[in-house]
A and B are shown apart, each in its own frame.
Chain A
Amino acid sequence: MNGLSARIDVSRGDFRLHVDIVAAAGRITAVLGPNGSGKTTLLHTLAGLQPVDAGRIEISGRVLDDPAESVFVPAEHRRTGLVFQDFLLFPHLSVQANVEFGPRSLGLPEPARRATEWLDRLDVADLAERRPSALSGGQAQRVALARALAADPDMLLLDEPMAALDASTRVEVRRELRRHLREFTGPTLLVTHDPLDALVLADDVVVLESGRVSQSGTTDDVGRRPATSYVATLMGANLLHAIAVDGLATCTDGTTVAIPDRALRGEVIVVIRPEAIVLHRTPPEGSARNVWPVRVVDVETHLDRSLVQVAGPPDLAVAVTAASTRDLGLAPGMQLWASAKALDLDAYPRSD
């Protein structure tokens, strides 16, 4: 197939990573999992920094690792662009030299022109002469991406691309990253513990739990039908497709949502976390600008926490405590009011 197909079985002490992963070319696949689920090990085996104990890693028909066939292509011959969590730009080299590093090491023609081209495509050409220490987090991420792409990789791997960034710049950077990742035509694998990264950046999601894949599919599918409570909690965020004008987003079903970013215009995705929604028996009076009449469709309780599906418009997943479920007497068919503060929402442009 055209893309990555990996069957990985690798043990490190007590921990065992045992997964099958497929990532199609031209698509972004998010590997979503909590800390310790094996995400870093997965990246290391894919990048050739660590061999698998058993299994096979193949990209567009080229075998990279298969102990049964005694094949192991080391990192320097693998052509996988790995963008590290903290970017790991070479501190002693300028931005330009960082991006030239790959093409030069590989003996690609015209490394300088190549580097300039990628810096340009990622809108950081003006930073070419700077040292990495003089870059902001978002700039460093773009340079790291340019460095990886300039080496002409067969596959792009990103390790927690948002983790090293300031919370205040994350929304902006994530929006940019989504656009920039579209520059790459091969398979992109993005490892993260933040469902927002998966929801906003990825086409497909692979959920990793304790070294195993607990669910995989398109982002929408996984979000809609979580297979485990972890996925449900993780992916339960509500996504609304809407058109934004002056801080007001209008969904296709006519619902309007007040969003925090007034500057955003055009097609957007509004992300509402289940925790950000409050359910009321009577119409609420308060500062929340988004209030919708809804009907309870389903109540699912995991331990001390319930996930309530309500039908609107909009259709929403709402997280409430088990105690509230009892107090409100939540049951399918109940008519309620749902509210959410505009500041608790995230909105992203749909730029693809």
Chain B
Amino acid sequence: MTGKRRTESTPWYLVVPGVVAIAFLGLPLLGLLLIAPWGDLLPELTSEEALQALRLSLITSLSATGLALVVGVPLAVLMSRTRWFAGPWVRALVTLPLVLPPVVGGVALLAAFGRNGIAGGPLYELAGVQLPFTTLAVVIAEAFVAMPFLVITVDGALRSADRRLEQAAATLGASRWTVFRRVTLPLIAPSIAAGAVLAWARALGEFGATLTFAGSFPGVTRTLPLAIYAALDVQRSQAIALSLVLVIVSAVILVSLRGQFLAGMRR
């Protein structure tokens, strides 16, 4: 009904470039589907390396999402509620990992948490702790690139939320913490969920920062995207099978996210 009306009011000459855009985005995926080793899919995906990479990716991406939630939601609240955190510098800092090449992110993480990094150096000298090449490093790299998605989503939700509801809660005698817990948080819950899912999808697909900061070793740091890259030359069909898994999981996430967003708006 609404779709019909929209077609009528949209200039027809937008259809051609629109279809070109769809083809541009869709053809590579179609190609992937066509060259997929459908017959060998199950053995390829249940091989030791594949399962190892899948398991590692699942663990690290979920941990990265958890990390992003624990520190990202408070940051978003501060950004939307305090002048200092809302400043252009904090905003740029939070957005930066979105636009940086992930490899640069990896180099930056090494400069911070590497053995000679500003934080990693003392950590190594004093405690003997080395972050690079550990599974924790993978989680850090993934959280670094994924957190902006969560922070920006939640910050946006907080900004568009009605502050007067918080005022109403205060006049009813609710302390700041009660207001946050019982009013603010429930109001932005759909956005937190959406941001977390988005961040998880980004963490799942992380490659550059992970390779640079965490390395690539089966079972320890070689996540799905790294395993795909490693297998590309010699075990092409396995690489494609794994790629397929990543594409399907991401597609399901994005499709479900759309529903989530709409649900959040209808509230």
Contacts and interface: CB of A to CB of B under 8 A. Distances in A.
Interface in A77-94: 77-82, 84, 88, 90-93
Interface stretch (B86-94, B128-136, B165-173): B165-173
B167 A92 contact: no
A211 interface: no
Interface in B140-169: 162, 164-165, 167-169
Contacts of A236: none
A76 B173 contact: yes
A328 interface: no
A272 interface: no
B168 A91 contact: no
Nearest to A47: B171
Contacts of B168: 82, 84, 88, 90
Interface residues of A, number: 25
Given A88-B165, A91-B187, A101 B171 contact: no
B81 interface: no
A75 B175 CA distance: 9
Contacts of A186: none
B267 A91 contact: yes
Given A88-B165, A91-B187, A48 B182 contact: no
Contacts of A101: 169, 172, 174, 182
20 contacts: A49-B167, A74-B170, A75-B167, A76-B171, A76-B175, A77-B173, A78-B171, A80-B171, A82-B171, A88-B162, A90-B183, A92-B267, A101-B172, A102-B172, A105-B169, A105-B172, A105-B182, A106-B172, A151-B172, A151-B173
Interface of B: 162, 164-165, 167-176, 178, 182-183, 186-187, 189, 267
Given A76-B173, A90-B165, A105-B182, 19 more contacts: A49-B170, A74-B170, A76-B176, A77-B173, A82-B168, A90-B183, A90-B186, A91-B267, A92-B186, A92-B267, A93-B186, A101-B174, A101-B182, A102-B172, A105-B169, A105-B175, A105-B178, A148-B171, A151-B173
